[in-house]
Amino acid sequence: MLQSGACANCDRAIAGPDQKFCPTCGQTTPAHRIDWHFLGHELEHSVLHMDRGIFYSLKELMLRPGHLMRDYIEGRRANQVKPMLLLMISAALVVLLGKFLLGGDLIGPSLQAGAGYVEGSSVGVEGGAAAAASAKTAVAVKDWINAHLAAFTLLLLPFQAGAFWLAFKGRGLNYPEWLVISAFLTVQTFIFMAAAVLVQRWLPSAQMWVVPFAFFYLVFSLVQYFQSSSRWKTALRALLGFILFTVVSSLISAAAGFVLVSMSMHG
């Protein structure tokens, strides 16, 4: 123990042995010397407690997603991991699984299928050139997203939140709250991506099912969140938000692909 009568951080007097935190600066009181007991205590209360929060949040996000998101929005957050931290952890997990099990190609199958169709089709010279350019752009986008999945996800998150904010306007949620909900919904998508990577060996088309499953869970989550509203109206609003986000993300991907192809041609 470093000091017994005052806060080690700001020197405020400690009221008594039952005082756990300094009311002025929030420092834990009393401060203890760093020894093996201290390190064991820190390990238990930081790493292990964080893990329990992660497992709890992931379990609730898949079993009771609407209730989990409502609890977080309404301030009941004691047992939950912050959504952005959960998003980064799930993204890292997907990237690691993709690197070791798929050679780093997480979104390749669908784009490669389109490119394969272009290469094998008998079209005119001009049409073939345009199709080849489109395929090259798609490959450039695929390679960039595979290399920067977390950055791409964060880039699209504000647009996803905006799409659902517009679709659910009048339901009492502001834009920052939709950012939180969108982060949770994206974590769900990463969970499905991770599952698809794990079963890819036995089900080669597993990655093609990620988007349908993610959309189904998105609708399920929002219907559960707005449980006091009409399920069909909520489902239709969710579909509208999903369509808006898909259009915007496609335009962003196309623009990014054009930039990447142009840079490669002038590089």
Which residue from 108, 111, 150, 165 is spatially nearest to 134, judged by alpha carbons? Answer: 111
User: pLDDT tens digits, residue range 121-141?
Assistant: 444 445 555 556 666 666 777
Per the rule left: phi > 0, alpha: psi between -120 and 50, beta: everything else, 24 is: alpha
pLDDT of residue 201: 82
Rounded to two decimals, the pTM is 0.75
What confidence tier does 66 reach under pLDDT thresholds 50, 70, 90? very high
- pLDDT of 21: 78
Q: Which among 26, 61, 8, 35 has a CA at the least distance from the CA of 187? A: 61
Tokens matching residue 47: 């790493």
Element (H, E) at 28: none
Task: Evaluate whether 7 touches 22 at the Cβ level (below 8 Å).
Answer: yes
SS3 category, 13: strand
Is 200 in a helix, a strand, or coil? coil
Q: How far apart are CA 170 and CA 101, in angstroms?
A: 44
Can you read off the two tokens belonging to residue 123?
């079209």
Cis upstream peptide for 30 (omega within 30°): yes
Mean pLDDT across 197-206: 86
In whole angstroms, how far apart are CA 87 and each of 21, 32, 74? 31, 34, 20
Of all residues in the chain, the percent with pLDDT exceeding 70 is 75
Q: Do 249 and 189 touch, CB atoms closer than 8 A?
A: no
